[in-house]
């Protein structure tokens, strides 16, 4: 058996692992690299690490986030024609996310061309999008929905079960049984794991008792999240301080998962009268669609979330949520000088409508920015978290005078304690564990914690582009 670590090795984005076993070749995830000017170069070379896309038999997709799914259309452009297995909710979300990803790329290219034209520069050097909207729509035809807990035969020698990972709607960790030249082996891929006892989604399912190989995420492998009550206190403080200074509260949020969680938390705070009535604008077509899809899957939500949805519908005067669809309405939000709570994508402030809201509100000291999710190195969101006093948006300098709140307790990723608790479900240590999906320091710290706290010895952090034969 041979593994190729094509992404999310020593870093967070670009999840993609090649598995070659028993004459079968498949990928687990096929994600886009995000953050910083080098991301595009990584995306262009990501699918050229020694394999032919036409020779991949199938893809197993853990969830819909673009850093796990965003290169599927490019894989198809390069000749892949096999099935892509994912949960039904993931398939629903990808019907929105992949065309949106392509649309953003096309718009970025258009903007660069217009910018160069205004400056009288040559159009040479403006890179084409990784894939077009038409190519993304074509790639959707490869998706095959799979129910949680159902065993599928992805190949004669490969059987797969998807288990609820509690990360975002439809997220899964994978249990893969393979025939390795007559030897039965069990592989476990964690995908991204969620926190236990958190609003909206059900908890991650317990891991299996035994595995030969484990790939485990480590996004927050070196830290512990704040308890939810403390996070709620921070959100209340951000809302009330911004109200008192007559500014706007801008919340960059991932369209899938984080936006819905923030809405639920705000609604719960209003219901408990910790916050006075709110009007919240959700300014992201993708988040609007993701919210609709979430409501279409009540069976994947926990009891509290379903009860809160019913309360919001019954009390629109307490918690009014306005989903902003058209561009003109979005632009009109920037005319609001006070009292607006605007949730917008992208969550790392790299693209989409959030950039316009930041341009208008960052220079205003009466406004606040609530950072509520992981910010990869090199992203605009990370620069704001790190205290930048000047940033650039649309090629123009923008001073940072708004108050920046960093709320660490809302992560959809399990922290170190939760990851270790999940791993304790193994009755015996896996024969080999690879620590993935974490920046270098986080991954190394988590690998060390596994050794020290669980006593596992065969644990290591692979490097991007590395191949390992087991």
The structural domains of the chain, with segments of one domain joined by +, span: 2-223+412-469, 228-410
d(CA 287, CA 197) in angstroms, rounded, equals 23
Q: pTM of the entire structure?
A: 0.88
Q: Is there a contact between 190 and 172 (Cβ–Cβ < 8 Å)?
A: no
- pLDDT reported for residue 5: 96
d(CA 419, CA 450) in angstroms, rounded, equals 10
User: Does residue 213 surpass a pLDDT of 90?
Assistant: yes
- pLDDT reported for residue 129: 87
- pLDDT reported for residue 48: 72
Mean pLDDT of 216-234: 93
Lowest model confidence (mean pLDDT) among 181-190, 212-221, 247-256, 369-378: 369-378
Is the bond preceding 346 in cis, omega lying within 30 degrees of 0?
A: yes
When pLDDT is cut at 50, 70 and 90, the band that residue 111 belongs to is confident
User: Does residue 357 surpass a pLDDT of 70?
Assistant: yes
Q: What percent of the chain has pLDDT over 90?
A: 80
When pLDDT is cut at 50, 70 and 90, the band that residue 34 belongs to is confident
Please name which of 65, 81, 79 lies closest in space to residue 30, comparing C-alpha atoms: 65
Please name which of 8, 424, 406, 9 lies closest in space to residue 196, comparing C-alpha atoms: 424
* 262-291 pLDDT tens trace: 999 999 999 999 999 999 999 998 899 999
Strand ordering across the sheet containing 158-164 = 151-155, 158-164, 172-180, 183-189, 213-217, 432-436, 459-460
Q: Phi/psi at 152 (nearest 5 deg)?
A: -120, 150
CATH class name, domain 228-410: alpha beta
Mean pLDDT of 294-310: 94
What architecture does CATH give domain 2-223+412-469?
Answer: 4-Layer Sandwich (3.60)
Residue 231 CB contacts under 8 Å (≥ 6 apart), including other chains: 225, 407, 408, 409, 410
- pLDDT reported for residue 120: 65
Burial class (CB in 10 A: 0-12, 13-18, 19+), 423: buried
- Work out the mean pLDDT of the chain and round it to a whole number: 93
Mean pLDDT of 417-425: 97
* 120-131 pLDDT tens trace: 665 565 678 889
Please name which of 248, 278, 250 lies closest in space to residue 265, comparing C-alpha atoms: 278
DSSP, collapsed to helix, strand or coil, labels residue 293 as helix
When pLDDT is cut at 50, 70 and 90, the band that residue 198 belongs to is confident
Beta strands in 317-364 (DSSP E): 319-324, 341-344
* 66-108 pLDDT tens trace: 999 999 999 999 999 999 999 999 999 999 999 989 988 888 8
- pLDDT reported for residue 125: 57
- pLDDT reported for residue 124: 63
Strands 396-399 and 390-393: antiparallel
Angle 459-84-288 (CA atoms, 0-180°, nearest 5)?
A: 100
For the chain, how many residues are written?
Answer: 470
- pLDDT reported for residue 63: 98
d(CA 189, CA 11) in angstroms, rounded, equals 17
Please name which of 422, 29, 375, 348 lies closest in space to residue 195, comparing C-alpha atoms: 422
Q: Phi/psi at 222 (nearest 5 deg)?
A: -120, 20
């Amino acid at each position: 058996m041979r593994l190729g670590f094509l992404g999310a090795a020593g870093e967070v984005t670009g999840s993609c692992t090649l598995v070659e076993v028993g004459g079968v070749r498949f990928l687990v995830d096929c994600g886009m690299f995000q953050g910083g000017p080098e991301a595009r170069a990584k995306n262009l070379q990501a699918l050229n690490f020694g394999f032919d896309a036409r020779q991949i038999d199938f893809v197993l997709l853990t969830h819909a986030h673009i850093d796990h799914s965003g290169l599927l259309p490019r894989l198809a452009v390069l000749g892949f024609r096999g099935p892509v297995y994912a949960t039904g909710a993931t398939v629903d979300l990808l019907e929105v996310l992949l065309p949106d990803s392509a649309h953003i790329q096309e718009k970025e290219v258009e903007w660069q061309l217009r910018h160069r034209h205004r400056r009288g520069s040559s159009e040479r050097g403006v890179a084409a999008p990784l894939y077009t909207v038409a190519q993304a729509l074509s790639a959707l035809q490869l998706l095959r929905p799979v129910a949680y807990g159902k065993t599928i035969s992805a190949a004669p020698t490969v059987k797969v079960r998807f288990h609820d990972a509690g990360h975002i709607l439809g997220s899964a960790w994978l249990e893969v049984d393979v025939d390795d030249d007559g030897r039965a082996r069990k592989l476990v891929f964690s995908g991204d794991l969620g926190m236990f006892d958190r609003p909206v989604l059900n908890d991650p399912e317990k891991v299996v008792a035994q595995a030969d190989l484990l790939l485990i995420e480590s996004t927050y492998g070196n830290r512990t999240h704040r308890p939810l009550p403390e996070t709620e206190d921070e959100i209340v403080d951000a809302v009330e301080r911004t109200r008192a200074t007559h500014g706007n509260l801008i919340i960059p949020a991932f369209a899938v998962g984080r936006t819905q969680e923030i809405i639920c938390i705000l609604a719960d705070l209003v219901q408990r009268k910790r916050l006075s009535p709110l009007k919240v604008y959700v300014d992201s077509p993708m988040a609007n669609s993701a919210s609709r899809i979430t409501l279409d899957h009540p069976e994947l939500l926990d009891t509290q979330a379903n009860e809160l949805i019913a309360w919001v519908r019954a009390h629109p005067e307490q918690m009014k949520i306005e989903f902003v669809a058209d561009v003109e309405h979005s632009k009109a939000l920037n005319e609001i000088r006070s009292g607006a709570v605007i949730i917008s994508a992208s969550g790392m402030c790299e693209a989409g409508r959030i950039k316009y809201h930041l341009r208008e509100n960052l220079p205003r000291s009466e406004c606040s920015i609530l950072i509520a999710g992981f910010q990869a190195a090199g992203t605009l969101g990370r620069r704001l978290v790190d205290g930048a006093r000047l940033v650039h948006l649309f090629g123009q300098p923008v001073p940072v005078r708004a108050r920046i709140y960093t709320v660490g307790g809302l992560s959809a990723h399990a922290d170190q304690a939760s990851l270790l608790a999940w791993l304790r479900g193994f009755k015996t240590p896996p024969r080999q564990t690879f620590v993935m999906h974490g920046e270098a320091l986080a991954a190394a710290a988590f690998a060390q914690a596994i050794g020290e706290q669980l006593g596992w010895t065969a644990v290591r952090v692979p490097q991007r582009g590395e191949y390992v034969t087991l």
